Amino acid sequence: MSEAFLVAKGIAKRFGGLTALSDVDLEIRAGEVLALLGDNGAGKSTFIKVLAGAHPPSEGQILVAGQPVSFASPKDAAASGIATIFQELALSENLSISENVYLGRELKHSVLGVPFLRRKEMKQRVAELLKELDAHISDPEAPVGSLSGGQRQSVAICRALNLNAKLVIMDEPTAALAVAETRKVLALIRKLAERGCAVVLISHNISDVFEVADRMVVFRRGRKVAERLRAETELEEIVALITGAHPDVRALEKAQ
Amino acid sequence: MHRLTQATSLLTGRELILLAACVVITIAFASVSPVFATPENAATIMRNSVELLLIGLGMTLLLAMGGIDVSIGVVMGLSAIAVGRALGANLDPALAAAIGPLTGALLGLVTAAVVVLGRIPAIVGTLGLLGVYRTAIFVVLGGQWLSGLPTGLTEMLGTSLVGVPLSFWVIALAYLAVWLALRRTPFGLHLLAIGNSEEKARLAGISVTKVRFAAFLISGMLAGLAATFYVATYRNVEMTTGSTLALDAIAAVVLGGTSILGGRCSLIGTVLGVMLLRILQNGLLLIGVPSLWQTVVTGGLLIAVLSFEALAGRLSFAKLGWASR
C-alpha cells in the first residue's frame, strides 16, 4: 500500500456535554476504499463531517500528505483535495450534467472583460469523464432532473473528480437505489480507487461494503473499535463487531 | 426543463401557444372594433409596451432566481420623478436620461440590501418597500403632478433608426445583453442554480449574495431605464405612475413560461407575454370595457395561469412551504 494521504490522530468531537467521538486514529491511503461501519449514532457521520470540514474537531489533529491542516469550512477541505458527496446530492436539477460538473468553477474566457462560458470544452471534458467512468450517460447536455438516482451519483462523482479531489467521501451512496443502479455505483467507486483516489464510504449495507471496500473500520459509541482488511474478515465478524457481540469489543468496553 | 439547455431551439410549445393567442385575439378584436387594426393603434400598443418590456426583462431575471419585486413599478415611478425633476431644472437631456437608470440602480441596491442582507423573503421585503415608496412618491410630489416638462428628452429619444423607434433598439439591446448573461456566462448558471435551490448553490461554492445583489441591481436599472422612456414619451409624472406595472410584469413573465418558483425562464416568452397583455388591454378598451377593468383582467390571467400549472402538476407551492390554506 502507498503512503497515507490523510492521517487522523486522536480525533474527538464534543457537542456541549455530549461526546460524539473520542480518540479516533485513522489512516486513509490513496487508491483505497475505506468503509466506515457502525450502528446509528456510532459516530461515523460525525467523523466524516470532521474530515469534510463541516465540524471542527474538539481535539486531535488531521494531516494531509504529511502536513497538519485545520478546516474552518468545507471549502478549506476542498482546497486540500477532499470532496464530500452528500446523501442529498447537491446537484441543480434544472441545469445540465456538464453545467453541474463545472458549477462554481466554470471554464471561461474573457471578451471585453465579460467572462463567457467555454461550453464546448466543458461539454467535451465531461463527456470524457463520463466515458472513463463507464457511466452509461451519452449526453452531457441532458438536464440532471431527467436522470435516475444512480446516474445522479455518477454526476456527483464526476464533479468530485473534476475538482481534482484526492479523497472522495460518500455518505450512503447506494441507500436510495435499485439493485441494478447499486451495482453501477459500486463499480464506479472501484473505478475511483483505481484512478488513485482515496474513497471513504459510509454504508449500512454490509454486503455492498464487502464487495467494494479494501478496509473496514467499525465505530461504536463514538470510538473506533475495530479495523479489518476485507481479506482477513467475514461478514459475521463485522456484524458482531457492529452490534458489540464480538469478544474483542466486549473486552474493550469492559476495560473502559 | 429542456428549454434551459437548448438555448438554440426556436420556440417552445408554450411560446407557440402564446403567439397563437396573440394572433387569435388580434383577429377577434379587429373583427369587432374598426379602430383596432389600424397602423395608429398598432403604434399605440407598441408605445404602451416599452416600459413593461424593460421591467418584464428584469422581473424574468428575478423570478428565474426564485426572487420577485412587487415594488418595481413604484421604483419606476420614483425614477421618473428624478428624471422629471432633472428636466425641470433644465439639466442637459442626455444627463437627465442617465438619471433614470442611475436612480433605478440605486433603488435596486436598496431592495437587495433589504432582502438579501435582511434575510427576508423577497415577496415580503419588497411589499414593505412598496409601502415606503408609495408614501415617498406622495411626499416628493407634494400631491401634484410633474407636468409640462421641457421637450429636450422627448426630442432626443423620440427618434427612429431605420424606421424603428430608438426605444425598441434599446429594448432589443437590453434583451440581447440579458440573454447573453443568462446563457453564456457563469452569472446565468449561478442565477438559475440559485433559483433551483439556494442551499445547493451555496454548497457548489457559488457566492449567492453577490448574484442576488447583481440581479436586483439589473432589475432596478431596467426599471429606471423604463422611467426615462416614460418621461420622454409623456412629459409628465403622476402620483400613480408605474403603480400597476409590478402586477403587469409578474403576469406577463409567468404567462411567458418563467417559473414563479425559480430555476426556469424564457425571454421570448416574456416578450410574448407582454404583447398578449398589452393587446388584450388595448382591445378591451377599444370595445368599450372601462379601463378600471384592466387590472382585473391582468390579475385574473395571473391566477388562471398559475392555477393551471399547479393543477397540471408542474408547480408545487408545497415545496416552498407555501401550501395554500
Given a cut of 70, is residue A119 above it in pLDDT?
yes
Per-domain boundaries in chain A: 4-255
pLDDT at residue A245 is higher than 90: no
Mean pLDDT of B138-166: 90
Whether B192 sits inside 8 A of A146 (CB atoms) is no
B205 at A interface, C-beta within 8 A: yes
Reply yes or no on whether the pLDDT at A11 is more than 60.
yes
ipTM (interface predicted TM) = 0.85
Residues of A in Cβ contact (< 8 Å) with B6: 141
Q: What is the pLDDT of residue B46?
A: 95
pLDDT tens track for B198-241: 988 988 888 999 999 999 999 999 999 999 999 999 999 999 99
Find out whether B315 and B261 touch, Cβ atoms under 8 Å: yes
Q: Match domain A4-255 to its CATH number in 3.20.20.70, 1.10.287.70, 3.40.50.300, 3.40.50.280.
A: 3.40.50.300
Of A72, A60, A58, A77, nearest in space to A7 by CA = A60
A95·B5 Cβ contact <8 A: yes
The residues near A151 (Cβ < 8 Å, ≥ 6 apart) are A135, A136, A137
**Which of B1, B2, B3, B5 should be substituted to probe chain A, the one whose Cβ sees the most A Cβ atoms within 10 Å?**
B5
Collect all residues from A whose CB is shorter than 8 A from any CB in B: 74-75, 78, 86, 90-96, 99, 103-106, 108, 114-117, 119, 141-143, 145-146
Which run of H or E residues covers position A125? Answer: helix A119-132
For B147, what's the count of Cα atoms within 13 Å in the CB-facing half-sphere? Answer: 5
Q: Please check whether residue A156 is in contact with residue A188, taking contact to mean a CB–CB distance below 8 angstroms.
A: no
Cα–Cα distance between B260 and B68 in angstroms, integer? 8
Among chain B residues, the shortest Cα distance to A140 is held by: B5
What's the pLDDT band for A60 if we cut at 50, 70, 90? very high
Bin B123: left if φ > 0, else alpha if -120 < ψ < 50, else beta. Answer: alpha
Q: Which residue's entry shows cell 390579475? A: B299
Q: A156-189: per-residue pLDDT in tens?
A: 999 988 888 999 999 988 887 888 889 988 999 9
Contact B216, B115 (CB under 8 A): yes
Per-residue pLDDT reduced to its tens digit, A216-237: 999 999 999 999 999 999 999 9
Strand partners, B160: B165
